Amino acid sequence: MPLDPARLFDPDPTQKSAAMYLYELVAKKPIYSPHGHVNPAFFSKPNYHFKNPVELFIQPDHYVIRMLYSQGITYDRILTSENPRAVWQLFASNYFLYRGTPSGIWLDHEMWEVFGVKEKLTGDSADRIYDQIVHMLAGEEFTPRNLYKKFSIAVLATTDSATDTLEHHQAILNSGWDGRIIPTFRPDNLINLNASDWIQNIHLLEKVSGIQIGSYKEFIQALEQRRSYFKSMGATASDVSPAQPITAWLSPNEMEVIFQRALQGKPAPPDAVNFSAHMLIELARMCVEDGLVMQIHPAIYRNHNPQVMKEFGPDTGFDIPVRTEFTRQLKPLLDRFGNHPNLTLILFNLDESALPRELAPLAGAYPAIKLGPPWWFLDSWNGMRRYFDQVMETTGIYNTVGFNDDTRGLLSIPARHDVWRRASANWLAGLLVRGVIDREDAETMIHELTDGLVKKAYHL
Amino acid sequence: MPLDPARLFDPDPTQKSAAMYLYELVAKKPIYSPHGHVNPAFFSKPNYHFKNPVELFIQPDHYVIRMLYSQGITYDRILTSENPRAVWQLFASNYFLYRGTPSGIWLDHEMWEVFGVKEKLTGDSADRIYDQIVHMLAGEEFTPRNLYKKFSIAVLATTDSATDTLEHHQAILNSGWDGRIIPTFRPDNLINLNASDWIQNIHLLEKVSGIQIGSYKEFIQALEQRRSYFKSMGATASDVSPAQPITAWLSPNEMEVIFQRALQGKPAPPDAVNFSAHMLIELARMCVEDGLVMQIHPAIYRNHNPQVMKEFGPDTGFDIPVRTEFTRQLKPLLDRFGNHPNLTLILFNLDESALPRELAPLAGAYPAIKLGPPWWFLDSWNGMRRYFDQVMETTGIYNTVGFNDDTRGLLSIPARHDVWRRASANWLAGLLVRGVIDREDAETMIHELTDGLVKKAYHL
Amino acid sequence: MPLDPARLFDPDPTQKSAAMYLYELVAKKPIYSPHGHVNPAFFSKPNYHFKNPVELFIQPDHYVIRMLYSQGITYDRILTSENPRAVWQLFASNYFLYRGTPSGIWLDHEMWEVFGVKEKLTGDSADRIYDQIVHMLAGEEFTPRNLYKKFSIAVLATTDSATDTLEHHQAILNSGWDGRIIPTFRPDNLINLNASDWIQNIHLLEKVSGIQIGSYKEFIQALEQRRSYFKSMGATASDVSPAQPITAWLSPNEMEVIFQRALQGKPAPPDAVNFSAHMLIELARMCVEDGLVMQIHPAIYRNHNPQVMKEFGPDTGFDIPVRTEFTRQLKPLLDRFGNHPNLTLILFNLDESALPRELAPLAGAYPAIKLGPPWWFLDSWNGMRRYFDQVMETTGIYNTVGFNDDTRGLLSIPARHDVWRRASANWLAGLLVRGVIDREDAETMIHELTDGLVKKAYHL
């Protein structure tokens, strides 16, 4: 379906033309993607090919599949490897469900801009579009490496378990390809004592680090060793996703006692919360020392639907946000490192009530804190509009970090960054036509929001 | 006062004309009112007549009277049956208080559209307008039955205690009138053990069901019997309004023990919360079995002002919302029935912070959940605007249910639905002029938001 | 930098011209400033002169300095009395940080409107602008008394400790100057038992009241004596800023026991919360009796950054809001005085989630409650827009109180009121062009929002 070149902008002609002017300054700039979940294996083999649009657009995208499930289309009909054409037909017949949603905007963008699909996707056009996409995917232009170039991606950060050996990243480096696919250090499964596979992960950590882990101190050494390895592979950032951003400093003895109980598989009831609370500060301390950026993505109830989890596993659309709090919960961490010039702590958030109340004032005062972009359910036109509205007056743009696409879907990356650039341009155009900033300011700011802030914050 | 035909729409000419176009497609369509509080007695007698505008517009409407009270006009001056002309004069002299409020919009609509009042209501015009309305109310055209027809109402659901004998609904059916006034099963006063009249309600339930209730099992049987009766009288939905949407599954033994303590008037402190928490799941189970829709209207602090409650009773403007939570509290219910194809669970909400955070993601994933429209204090132009903004991107319109007017005021029904249709048209026009949807989508969606979704969700 | 005469208004030409029309009706009206923190000493000496723009714009303004600090500019470089020209240079070089922030809007306004600065402030123009401002400040026109007149201030309320002797207010009165600088009674440091200097404050209270305080009853008498003194000095209002708006009525005996423990420096753990909870009701009782307005500014975590607090003291940008709740917490106070015609209780709020949920319904029902304007982080263009959006439909404008500037910065007062008047005009223009109100209503309402409501609510 053809895309309006001035899409998403406010309809007032003055604002729209100012937005268009600002957008065009940055529309073609390289993409910095400092946080996401694209599979690095796509790039380790030079000739990797996606097979069909089901594998590409539907099955890996929990934003997409949950909408079908919510309408009673069960996952056995979607998450099957048999007959992808039938899955595509089912999806196309229900494509109207995505009207007005970010998934709809991204999918329309991908089909038009990447595949040149000229028809609206419906049950009727499904087959033709399927054939067209399958045909194009087989072409040389559509290997992930060539898409990376086509999309003008400058950096693509993946998210990797702390115990990951980063073999795909290694293979990419060895291949001499000049794309920049960098890992991100994410130790969640070592920090969450409630994870059923925590012990196995400790064993895995021992194995990949070569450090025997009999004590908390050795655990910390092993983590530091992995961080050092990730840095050597290009990482500039770490990430952690605690149930709540609770922080607390425990003594080495207290941590040792908790760690020993955990090693023996006998944690006491409050151990998991205390362990995680201390580890957030410990990770901040490591960031201060090794210079990795710290990201926190808190307050999601993961795998909320036990039946779906049992049958189809995680990342199937049933991670549901919960209320959260930063002012009190982050204070112990900030007491230690909030003023430290070496720490960059990027906070993400899905509880918008905390945005103007807590996060904007915190990011607008502490030198260590930067505010992450609208994330996940808020990575949308209105989510961005509300973010600019609720955050910028208190925080100022220089305490924010541009955009993260946070996606599994390689093809959605340009679509998502395009929405951000349009939202930024439209917001700045609103300030410009209201006389709050002048044209010179607006021009500087659109570049900052597109790539200046992200490069600086993530040390790219 | 004359009404602007393009009222409420955004002022940008492109959006406004798109909104007008979409609005006109549905402006005259029949009204489905699946949840409200109009008195069924208005319809059981063919020649019921409202007497005056005080009885019609002011006294039964807690939205209206609380605004007067908030300005120091005590209820003895408003809620009196003596001298309605003086009450009207007092109201008219203070009509400026409603400037910019939904009550003001509805009242202006009702006076202009229903009564053709051509003057602005003020202390000066009060008498003339009073006379005009009283005169018209005496006419044949203004019986509730004829207003129902005049307003093109297709279905009007009332809300009825589980122990109600539905005599007015019966009388309507017996009369052969073809208006569709259907009951809604609301068992709140049987589920809330803290209600001072709980025992009396149990006795009433025994009486109307003909089932002696000595055990929890018999209590459930009696409830099921009433549901069956409500269904036979046309009900398609149930409703419950817990203090919080807390759910928990207790064993039959635990429930029996609690029930026996309650029957003896000696509930233990946590009994009321536990009983209600289990009953929400039990009611969901009944819905799965008998096909009634389940509605939850949670998290209101009822009768917050004890002095007003004592002197003037409930529904006098002192029900105040409280913060609420769905992700955790609803989980036990969803664990049992969230994936069940027979359950339609419509969630209402007055804590907007939970909308984008919890309700939009829940409704956008669980097949059983549908998101109710903006309710009560949010049943307003801006409440609707924020609802579309905060919900639709994540939930998609097909997991919502159109509009509920939820009103006691028969005359406000067309006014309220008109605001919803305008808000829907304006939102869709915004998507259209921003290139997010095309005209064909917009046309389909305005019909869905007007009557398609509500008919499907409520099985009408 | 030149200011756009139609700045801030929505760009749609119809709305913009309606906003301009309404704004111009009130743009030059006198300023009522019923709550703020300007130093009364500025006015007690007729020839007080500000020395330089650092002392004027930067150092006393925690909105301004925190933004510099958040970008790693440490306070020793800003909060120094040495070399103000260098501080100004540092500020000017970083003035881009304020793009799109309210501080930027106010500073631009002050420089253009008050000092006629025609250049944009940058590192390059810093010196020239410094010289221009220093030169002008030395002139007769720029004494605080003459600025008060120049700004058309009608009343300026300061905020004063309950133990303050109000010597500057007395000196102003004695001087015969006709400016109206009135005190506000703020007893926070006598009510918060956790304050490290509580005992010293009690001794101070003894001294200034001439009442020996050995009992809770004498404490109350001394407070009442001070209120009486404040009233005699022109005060019309009191203020209190509790950690949370928790209220509870304790018996005289309970309060006596707590008070005695506190006098002995041995408070029990819950004493501080209980004492403050009761005192809020006691203060409401005093307001009912002596007619002072009650203001509550709750739910700030003060001095969140211990390092900055230790080195640079309070009011340095590290007061961070926390979530709050009104429906339950205020109920005990409202049970006693919520219906009382003598009480005006103005509630302020930084947790916007509570605005449409709790505060709008409470203020729209209780005669005692008025809703305060958007405060602190919300005293901004978008904060005001959201306030009008979230509050007015439920509360109605007549349960609000116009604007408070709440500032330390005398020069920012006209800038802040100008933003409010523009925001009010733009909001009313939006209602007007949408046909919700007519021109006559809009004209009345812009006057109410500018000075009508504030004069009435604060008894000015």
- A258–chain C nearest CA distance, Å: 29
Q: Which of B12, B98, B305 is opposite residue C396, by nearest beta carbon?
A: B98
CB contact under 8 Å between A366 and C96, yes or no, is no
Q: For residue B376, what is the nearest residue in chain C, using CA coordinates? A: C394
DSSP symbol at B338 = T
**Phi/psi of residue B209, nearest 5 degrees:** -90, -20
Which parts of chain A have pLDDT scores under 50?
A: none
H or E segment and range at residue A369: strand A369-371
pLDDT beyond 90 at B75: yes
Q: Which chain B residues are Cβ-neighbours of A385 within 8 angstroms?
A: 389
Show the DSSP H helices in A264-302 as ranges: 271-290
What is d(CA C321, CA B15) in angstroms, rounded to the nearest whole number? 38
Rounded to an integer, the average pLDDT of B165-194 is 97
Mutation choice for A interface testing from B434, B446, B449 by most A CBs within 10 A: B434
Q: Is the per-residue pLDDT at B26 higher than 80?
A: yes
Question: Considering CB atoms only, which of B99, B317, B385 is closest to C397?
Answer: B99
Distance from CA of C355 to the nearest CA of A (A): 11
| Cβ separation C334–B305 shorter than 8 A | yes
Q: Which of A230-239, B190-199, B330-339 has the lowest mean pLDDT?
A: B190-199
**Number of inter-chain CB pairs under 8 A, A vs B:** 132
Instruction: Quickly tell me which residue has 């602190």 as its tokens.
Output: C376
d(CA C375, CA A260): 50
How far apart CA C8 and CA A299 sit, in angstroms, is 36
Q: Is-contact B338 B368, C-beta < 8 A? A: yes
- What is the chain A residue with the closest CA to C422? A434
From the list A364, A398, A431, the residue facing C66 with the nearest CB is A364
Give me the amino acid identity at C279: M
B357/A69 touch (CB, cutoff 8 Å), yes or no: no
Round the average pLDDT of chain C to a whole number and report it: 97
DSSP-derived letter for residue C397 is: G
Chains that touch C (3 or more CB pairs under 8 A): A, B
The mean per-residue pLDDT over the stretch B346-372 comes to: 98
- Looking at chain B, how many residues does it have? 460
Q: Are A17 and A430 in contact (CB under 8 A)?
A: no
Q: Which of C353, C369, C396 sits opposite B97 (nearest CB)?
A: C396
Given an 8 Å threshold on Cβ–Cβ distance, is A102 in contact with B393? Answer: yes
**Contact across the interface for B334 and A304, Cβ inside 8 Å:** yes
C279-318 burial: b if 16+ Cβ within 10 Å, else e: bbbbbbbbbbebebbbbbbbbbbebbbeebeeebeeebbb
**What value, to the nearest 5°, has the Cα angle with vertex A224 and ends A221 and A228?**
140
Give A233's DSSP letter. Answer: T
- Residue A292: predicted pLDDT: 98
Which pLDDT belongs to residue C370? 98
Residue B406 in contact with residue B35, Cβ under 8 Å?
yes
Cβ contacts below 8 Å, chain A against chain C, sum to: 132
Q: Between C6, C70, C380, which is nearest A367 by CB?
A: C70
Percent of chain B with pLDDT over 90: 99
Residues whose CB is less than 8 angstroms from the CB of residue A42 and which lie 6 or more positions away in sequence, other chains included: A48, A144, A410
How large is the average pLDDT for residues C125-154? 97
Determine the pLDDT at residue C429.
98
Question: Cα(B238)–Cα(B184) distance, rounded to whole angstroms?
Answer: 5
Tell me the residue type at B117: V
**Binary contact (B101, C444; C-beta < 8 A):** no
Q: How many alpha carbons fall within 13 Å on the CB side of residue A161?
A: 14
Alpha-carbon gap: B407 to the closest alpha carbon of chain A (Å): 29
Q: In what order do the strands lie in the sheet with B369-371?
A: B160-161, B185-186, B237-240, B293-296, B345-347, B369-371
* Partner chains of B (3+ C-beta pairs under 8 Å): A, C
A97, A122, A323, A325: best to mutate for the B interface, most B CBs within 10 A: A323
pLDDT on residue C157: 98
Residue labelled with tokens 């008219």: B92
Pairing of strands C293-296, A300-301: unpaired
Contact of B363 with B311, CB cutoff 8 Å: no
Q: In Å, how far is A427's CA from the nearest CA of chain C?
A: 10
Partner-chain residue, chosen from A7, A305, A383, that has the shortest CB–CB distance to B393: A383
**What sign does the dihedral B258-B260-B261-B263 (CA atoms) show?**
positive
Q: Choose the closest CB to C364 out of B7, B11, B66.
A: B66
Q: What percent of chain A has pLDDT over 90?
A: 99
CB C290 within 8 A of CB C340: no
Q: What is the mean predicted confidence (pLDDT) over B228-252?
A: 98
Q: Compute φ and ψ for C138, nearest 5 degrees.
A: -75, -15
Does residue B116 carry a pLDDT above 90? yes
What integer pLDDT is reported at residue C196 of this predicted model?
87
Q: Do A339 and C97 touch (CB under 8 A)?
A: no
pLDDT at B196: 87
Whether residue B58 has pLDDT greater than 90 = yes
**CB atoms C321 and A393 under 8 Å:** no
pLDDT band at B357 (very low <50, low <70, confident <90, very high): very high
Rounded to the nearest 5°, which phi and psi values hold at C456? -70, -50
pTM comes to 0.98
- How many angstroms away from the CA of C407 is the closest CA of chain A? 16
CB-CB under 8 Å, A383 with B356: yes
B143-151 mean pLDDT: 98
Question: Can you say how many angstroms the Cα of residue C384 is from the centroid of all Cα atoms in its chain?
Answer: 15
Q: CA of B324 to nearest chain A CA: how many angstroms apart?
A: 10
Q: Which residues of A touch C71 (CB under 8 A)?
A: 367, 398-399
Tens digits of residue pLDDT in B195-206: 889 999 999 999
The stretch B108-133 carries a mean pLDDT of 97
User: Is A435–C3 a contact, with Cβ atoms under 8 angstroms apart?
Assistant: yes
Query: What is the chain B residue with the closest CA to C388?
Result: B382
Whether residue C364 and residue B322 make contact (CB cut-off 8 A), yes or no, is no
Residue A1: predicted pLDDT: 73
Q: Which residues contact A444 (CB under 8 A, 6 or more apart)?
A: C96
- Kindly list the residues from chain A whose CB atom is less than 8 angstroms away from the CB atom of residue C120: 438
Please list every residue in chain B whose beta carbon sits closer than 8 Å to the beta carbon of residue A378: 356
Tell me which chain C residue has its CA closest to the CA of residue B419. Answer: C436
> How many other C-beta atoms are found inside a 10 Å radius of the C-beta of residue B200?
12
Handedness of CA B257, B259, B263, B264 (dihedral sign): positive
B119's CB contacts (< 8 A; 6+ apart) are: B1, B125, B128, B129
For residue C212, the model assigns a pLDDT of 98
* Predicted pLDDT of residue B306: 98
- Rounded to a whole number of angstroms, the distance from the CA of A203 to the nearest CA of chain C is 39
CB contact under 8 A, C6 and A399: no
pLDDT of the residue at C36: 98
**Two tokens, residue A403:** 């955009």
The whole-number pLDDT of residue C1 equals 73
Say which of A1, A320, A381 has its CB closest to residue B358. Answer: A320
pLDDT at position C140: 95
Contact C377 A397 (CB under 8 A): no
pLDDT tier at C151, thresholds 50, 70, 90: very high
Residue A323, pLDDT score: 98
Instruction: For residue C378, give how far its alpha carbon lies from the nearest alpha carbon of chain B (Å).
Output: 17
Alpha-carbon span A368 to A191, nearest angstrom: 23
pLDDT confidence bin for C431, thresholds 50/70/90: very high
- Give helix then strand counts, H and E, for chain B: 22, 11
Nearest to A305 among B14, B338, B444 (CB): B338
What is the average pLDDT score of chain B?
Answer: 97
- Distance CA(B367)–CA(C130), nearest Å, equals 65
Report residue B342's pLDDT band, with 50, 70 and 90 as the boundaries. very high
Two structure tokens written together for B263: 């029957």
The residue type of C261 is R
Is A59 in contact with B353 (CB distance < 8 Å)?
A: no
Across chain A, mean pLDDT equals 97
> How far apart are alpha carbons A57 and A109 in whole angstroms?
12
C402 conformational bin, left if phi > 0, alpha if psi -120 to 50, beta if neither: left
Per-residue exposure over C6-16, b if at least 16 CB sit within 10 Å of its own CB, e if not: bbbbbbbeebb
| Three-class SS state of C279 | helix
Q: What is the pLDDT of residues C242-296, one digit of tens each?
A: 999 999 999 999 999 999 999 999 999 999 999 999 999 999 999 999 999 999 9
Distance CA B116, CA B195 (A): 45
CB contact under 8 A, B431 and A100: yes
State which H helix or E strand residue C416 sits in: helix C412-433
Chain A residues touching C390 at Cβ < 8 A: none
Contacts of A322 in chain C (CB under 8 A): none
Q: Let me know: does C331 contact C247? Beta carbons within 8 Å.
A: yes
Give the angle B80-B83-B84 at the CA atoms, nearest 5°: 75
Q: How far apart are CA A197 and CA A205, in angstroms?
A: 12
Nearest to B361 among A72, A104, A377 (CB): A377
Task: Determine whether the interchain pair A438/C352 forms a contact, defined as Cβ–Cβ distance below 8 Å.
Answer: no
